Amino acid sequence: MIAVCCILYVVVGVITSCGVGNCGAADDTTPHRHLAVLDETIFLAGSDKTDSISDVESVVWLKETNKIMKQSSFDGTPSTEGRYTMYAEFQDTAGSLETSLEIRNISFSDAGSYTCKIYYHEKLPFFIQHKIQVQGYPWLAKDKEVYSEGHMVSAICCANSSRAVTDTSLDWSIQNGAISNQVETGNKSIVSTDVQLTCSNLTFPATRHQHQQQLTCMIRNERNLSADTNLFILYSASVQISVLNSTNTDDTSTSIEECAIGIIVCEADGNPPANVTLQKQARNEGWTRQLHLPAVQSRDGWNTSWTFYCTISAGMMPESTMRTFNGLDAQRNSEQHEIDVLFSTHTILTSANVMNVGENDDFYFECATESNPVAVVTLQKIVNIDEWTDLSAKPSLISNDGFKSTWRFYFINASLEVAGTYRCLGFNGVGVETASVPILVEIEDEKKLFGVKITDHSVTIVIVIASILLLLLVIILIAYIKRRNHRSVTIPDELYR
């Protein structure tokens, strides 16, 4: 599966010092081990000290006991037979004979023991032993190309090697990290006289974080050959909602001033990328899709960001939610997010704008505000002809219906000094303060009769009683006059006799 295009230079010949008569097989009897990779090129090297090139008879390279190549000239001219090339050269300044054997396109059949023998005319031959082991590249396969989150990924990794190779354990990783909840089984089998096959089977649950990451199988030895494949994980969409440019926000609600541009951001996570719809629920209404709002979409890997823009008005007061779907499982909704629209205070006078109050009477007048949040109401009075000043009087909250509040200022035992022009001033931190229309309060001076307070009501009673008495007097007077007239016209009885 993976092409091999590297050349390995293995200089493993041991430069052994040996004088005349003391170079023999006992000088280097331990084979030098080399782990070669299939199809690469390898060089085996050897050298021996010698006083003169004339002492050397020939150089021979053998595999096991079979001769590969022989050379009797030592000027560095290479000799080639098939995949083998041999070099032998006398280094006059160093006083040594250098030789090497190049093997190209290494195959499993090249595994085994190699011996370099340098024959002398008058002393025992010098030899160096090498042992070549051949490792093939691993190959990796999955049972599927695409997985859904939570499903099991099943993979197999195998590698051929020459039978003498013992370090063939296969390690698995994802992005060089451990794999959670993995189950691994391995086995070895003999393929041929020269080749053995090592395999490892792996299963693990797919997760969204593994999407587009590399699943790697590596042979743990000095060559660390590996094979890898990309994972493709599909998973259901999820979505989160947030609101930017707000004055106050938490996970479920946001406060925005009226007339501001609301920026509603939806972060959808799903593979394949999800489609996102913004829904709004106004007061006492059902959920409606907001298709008219301008939106900007951006993607970062499998994350999709949708940004919606809307002008905030006091009548909105919506709860918003996001609905997302990418073709897997059911549609998913975000948490509901309430937008609290903040707007400035509107203050009005709900009592008559002129009030006539008697001295020492109790009275009140009312103001109403409409705002969000609820306003603080202050009572003001004109002093110094045209200067409004704040009074310390505290209003009582009579009613609160949504954003509308009714406030009442009470006056007990009103004195003459209470008379004047008043107004209500409301402010809730949004916009500017607003004032109601003024109210004129007039205090009538108290009058007493025989120590009793005279009021409009008492005056009315007196008038009624006086009218009744006068009427009775008139009736009595009329009756008296009539009776008197009757007596004056009566004829005495003597006149009839």
Q: Do 41 and 112 fall within a single domain? A: yes
Omega of the bond leading into 125 within 30 degrees of 0 (cis): no
Domain assignment present for 476: no
Q: What is the mean pLDDT of residues 198-209?
A: 93
Question: What pLDDT is attached to residue 4?
Answer: 33
Q: Do 48 and 124 fall within a single domain? A: yes
Q: Do 220 and 257 fall within a single domain? A: no
Number of domains in the chain: 4
Domain assignment present for 310: yes
Q: Do 243 and 147 fall within a single domain? A: no
What pLDDT, in 10s, does the model give residues 132-150? Answer: 999 999 999 999 999 999 9
Q: What is the mean pLDDT of residues 399-425?
A: 92
Q: What is the mean pLDDT of residues 164-189?
A: 86
Domain assignment present for 454: no
Domain region containing 405: 344-444
Distance (Å, whole) CA 425 – CA 443: 23
Q: Do 289 and 205 fall within a single domain? A: no
Q: What is the mean pLDDT of residues 174-188?
A: 87
Q: Do 185 and 249 fall within a single domain? A: no
Q: What is the mean pLDDT of residues 219-241?
A: 89
Domain assignment present for 98: yes
- State which of 93, 115, 135 marks the end of a domain: 135
391-405 per-residue burial string, b: 16 or more CB within 10 A, e: under 16: eeeebeeeeeeebeb
Q: Do 21 and 123 fall within a single domain? A: yes
Which single residue is written with the structure tokens 């091999």?
Answer: 4
Residue 18 has pLDDT above 60, yes or no: no
Domain assignment present for 356: yes
Q: The domain spanning residue 181 has which CATH number?
A: 2.60.40.10
337-349/253-257 β-pairing: parallel
Cα torsion 471, 473, 478, 483: sign: positive
More confident: 494 or 470: 470
Domain assignment present for 451: no
Q: Do 280 and 192 fall within a single domain? A: no
Question: What pLDDT is attached to residue 323?
Answer: 65
* pTM tops 0.75: no
- State which of 402, 422, 444 marks the end of a domain: 444
Q: Do 358 and 311 fall within a single domain? A: no
Phi-psi region of 413 (alpha: psi -120 to 50; beta: other; left: phi over 0): left
Q: Do 351 and 421 fall within a single domain? A: yes
Question: What pLDDT is attached to residue 196?
Answer: 92
Residue 450 has pLDDT above 70, yes or no: no
Domain assignment present for 471: no
- State which of 314, 335, 356 marks the end of a domain: 335
Identify the weakest region by mean pLDDT among 193-197, 248-252, 442-446: 248-252
Q: Do 177 and 250 fall within a single domain? A: no
Average pLDDT, the chain: 82
Q: What is the mean pLDDT of residues 283-300?
A: 69
Residue 5 has pLDDT above 70, yes or no: no
Q: Do 182 and 195 fall within a single domain? A: yes
